[in-house]
């Protein structure tokens, strides 16, 4: 593997590899493959600091690799079991948007700890262009490439092996794997999800890291208020809330889209770029209908999570009635605000029609809300990069450096690096310069889509 991905953890560390038994769990050997159905992961939700085995899944193992599948058969994880895999605690995940993401636990020496960067024990390495701060890609590593090619071989083997004599549950599982995992079916499935939402989900709130980005997306408003010129994730549409009828239709379609997989979710993303601007009535409606339809709140899954974006305008306009309504919902709710800069000329250059006062007031209000409501958590984003003026950086340092330590232990700042082609090495020191002075946690915002 590239030196970039050398590991901080010991190569000898192995995650506990024994799944929990489920009532319907069954297994068999199919040639060289071990097939296990109805496995229940050790944790209910998708979050862990080791290869996540959560919810209900099926598994196929070779001597070298473990492959996990959704209850409906689509592949969701690949992990190597031998020393040629980059690290026993690393894995590949396929999202419902049909992207592969490699989870790494390692950084170069001297670059800090992974948890300092992203607040989690691993860094998602995306297989598409994003705003990653690191160069290099794990996808060219021979161990990772071997994982993909082993998966192709397993799929080929399943397609041409007789299933006669296998128990019904194993046969059904293998047939589901065969049916759902050809490329065109996986692509069509992702397109179906995007068409229910109304578009590709170009960016998820950074706080969705708390559930490993495993959210059911419900769109209550297209477009956004500002349509900033610098933004690469905007839809370009004018802001327009959806109707309650449309939201109910979406929830219905999502319920049948995810089917039995809904049991593996306990979080919703209320989209799109500024759900807070759609108004508390629509937000409350979508939150409660989703809660009922997707079976959130079952005791074994823990507290359900709701994620949304807000803007400075919609956030400042929201009065206490809004936050009290949100606080009464059966969710832990995260609202992420895009503030971008505390420098007037930079905001202007970015085409972001807000001013310094709005930025400062939003930050102050964020701290107040975080202190006042135990189940609401507000976070804010700013941009990071060498292409900005020094005033952008120094004003940000002074604004965030003035934030005192917060006893509520809630809320954080995300710094979103612009894609750098020339001075990538200078971005990390800028990040630490801000992080080390701020009284609340500061993390890198990696733009992840669904
Ligand atoms: S930064 Fe946010 S508000 Fe501005 S265009 Fe992008 S999504 Fe819309």
**Index of the ligand 1 atom closest to the CA of residue 225:** 3
At residue 445, the pLDDT reads 93
Q: pLDDT tens digit string along 24-79?
A: 889 999 999 999 998 887 666 556 565 567 789 999 999 999 999 999 999 999 99
Compute, in angstroms, the gap from residue 98 CA to the centroid of ligand 1.
Answer: 24
Whether the Cβ atoms of residue 52 and residue 78 lie closer than 8 Å to each other:
no
**Based on the domain organization, do 104 and 211 belong to the same domain?**
no
Task: Give me the numbers of helices (H) and strands (E) for the chain, helices first please.
Answer: 12, 17
Statement: residue 409 has pLDDT above 50: yes
- Of 329, 201, 324, 336, the closest CA to residue 276 belongs to 336
Q: How far apart are CA 415 and CA 433, in angstroms?
A: 12
3 state DSSP class of 280: helix
Compute, in angstroms, the gap from residue 147 CA to the centroid of ligand 1.
Answer: 37
- Of 361, 393, 394, the closest CA to residue 380 belongs to 361
Q: Please say which residue of 149, 181, 213 terminates a domain.
A: 181
Buried/exposed 204-234: b ≥16 CB within 10 Å, e otherwise: bbbbbbbbbbbbbbbbbbbbbbbbbeebebb
Kindly report the number of other CB atoms within 10 A of residue 45's CB atom.
Answer: 23
Cis peptide bond N-terminal to 272, omega within 30: yes
Ligand 1 is surrounded, with C-beta below 6 A, by 224, 226-228, 231, 233-234, 273, 311, 338
Nearest residue (by CA) to ligand 1, atom 1, is: 231
At residue 106, the pLDDT reads 78
- In the sheet where 26-30 sits, what is the strand order? 26-30, 33-40, 56-61, 65-69, 75-80, 91-94, 100-104, 123-126
At residue 9, the pLDDT reads 36
Mean pLDDT of 143-169: 95
CA–CA distance from 99 to each of 92, 121, 152, 164, 186 (Å)? 10, 21, 16, 34, 10
Q: What is the pTM of this model?
A: 0.92
At residue 419, the pLDDT reads 67
**Based on the domain organization, do 176 and 314 belong to the same domain?**
no
**Based on the domain organization, do 107 and 166 belong to the same domain?**
yes
The CATH number linked to 237 is 3.80.30.10
**Based on the domain organization, do 196 and 149 belong to the same domain?**
no
Q: pLDDT tens digit string along 93-134?
A: 999 999 999 999 877 767 788 889 899 988 899 888 887 766
In a domain, 41, yes or no: yes
Statement: residue 6 has pLDDT above 80: no
Q: How far apart are CA 210 and CA 172, in angstroms?
A: 33
Mean pLDDT of 196-217: 96
Compute, in angstroms, the gap from residue 309 CA to the centroid of ligand 1.
Answer: 10
Q: Please say which residue of 181, 203, 227 terminates a domain.
A: 181
At residue 137, the pLDDT reads 79
Q: How far apart are CA 309 and CA 239, in angstroms?
A: 13
Most ligand 1 atoms within 8 A of CB, residue of 202, 205, 224, 350 to mutate: 224
Compute, in angstroms, the gap from residue 337 CA to the centroid of ligand 1.
Answer: 10
In a domain, 90, yes or no: yes
Give the range of the structural domain holding residue 80, as residue numbers without chain letter: 3-181
**Based on the domain organization, do 213 and 261 belong to the same domain?**
yes
β-strands 305-310, 376-384 pairing? unpaired
Query: Residue holding tokens 């960067």?
Result: 117
Whether the Cβ atoms of residue 365 and residue 316 lie closer than 8 Å to each other:
yes
Helical H segments across 259-375, by residue range: 280-293, 312-317, 320-328, 344-349, 356-372
Most ligand 1 atoms within 8 A of CB, residue of 200, 206, 228, 447 to mutate: 228
In a domain, 449, yes or no: no
**Based on the domain organization, do 139 and 207 belong to the same domain?**
no
Most ligand 1 atoms within 8 A of CB, residue of 131, 277, 338 to mutate: 338
Q: pLDDT tens digit string along 7-21?
A: 333 333 444 444 444
Nearest residue (by CA) to ligand 1, atom 7, is: 234
In a domain, 350, yes or no: yes
The region of weakest confidence among 299-303, 363-367, 394-398, 410-414 is 299-303
Statement: residue 395 has pLDDT above 80: yes
């Amino acid at each position: 593997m590239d030196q970039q991905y050398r590991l901080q953890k010991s190569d000898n560390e192995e995650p506990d590899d024994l799944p929990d038994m489920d009532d319907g769990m069954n297994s068999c050997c199919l040639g060289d493959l071990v097939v296990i159905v109805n496995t229940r992961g050790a944790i209910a939700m998708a979050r862990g600091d080791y290869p996540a085995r959560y919810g209900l899944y099926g598994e196929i193992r070779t001597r070298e690799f473990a492959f996990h599948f959704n209850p409906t058969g689509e592949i969701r994880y690949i992990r190597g079991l031998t020393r040629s895999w980059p690290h026993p605690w690393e894995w590949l995940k396929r999202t419902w948007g049909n992207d592969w993401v490699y989870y790494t636990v390692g950084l170069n020496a001297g670059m800090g700890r992974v948890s300092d960067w992203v607040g989690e024990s691993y860094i998602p390495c995306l297989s598409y262009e994003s705003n990653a701060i690191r160069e290099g890609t794990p996808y060219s590593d021979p161990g990772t490439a071997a994982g993909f090619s082993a998966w192709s071989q397993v799929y080929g083997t399943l397609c041409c092996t007789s299933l006669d004599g296998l128990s019904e549950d194993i046969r059904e599982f293998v047939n589901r794997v065969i049916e759902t995992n050809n490329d065109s079916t996986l692509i069509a499935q992702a397109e179906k999800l995007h068409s229910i939402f109304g578009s590709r989900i170009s960016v998820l709130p950074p706080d969705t890291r708390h559930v490993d980005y495993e959210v059911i997306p419900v769109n209550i408003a297209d477009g956004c208020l500002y349509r900033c010129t610098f933004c690469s994730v905007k839809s370009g549409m004018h802001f327009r809330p959806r109707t309650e009828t449309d939201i109910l239709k979406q929830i219905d379609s999502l319920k049948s889209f995810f089917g039995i997989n809904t049991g593996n979710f306990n979080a919703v993303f209320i989209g799109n770029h500024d759900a807070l601007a759609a108004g508390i009535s629509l937000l409350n409606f979508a939150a409660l209908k989703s809660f009922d339809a997707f079976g959130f709140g079952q005791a074994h899954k823990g507290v359900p999570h709701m994620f949304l974006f807000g803007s400075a305008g919609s956030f400042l306009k929201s009065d206490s009635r809004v936050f009290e309504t949100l606080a009464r919902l059966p969710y832990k709710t995260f609202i992420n605000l895009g503030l971008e800069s505390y420098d007037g000329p930079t905001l202007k250059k970015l085409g972001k029609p807000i001013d310094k006062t709005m930025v400062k007031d939003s930050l102050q209000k964020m701290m107040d809300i975080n202190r006042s409501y135990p189940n609401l958590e507000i976070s804010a984003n700013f941009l990071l990069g060498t292409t900005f003026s020094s005033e952008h950086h120094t004003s940000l340092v002074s604004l965030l450096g003035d934030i005192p330590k917060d006893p509520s232990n809630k809320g954080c700042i995300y710094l979103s690096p612009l894609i750098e082609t020339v001075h990538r090495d200078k971005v990390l020191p800028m990040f630490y310069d801000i992080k080390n002075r701020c009284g609340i946690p500061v993390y890198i915002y990696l733009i992840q889509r669904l």
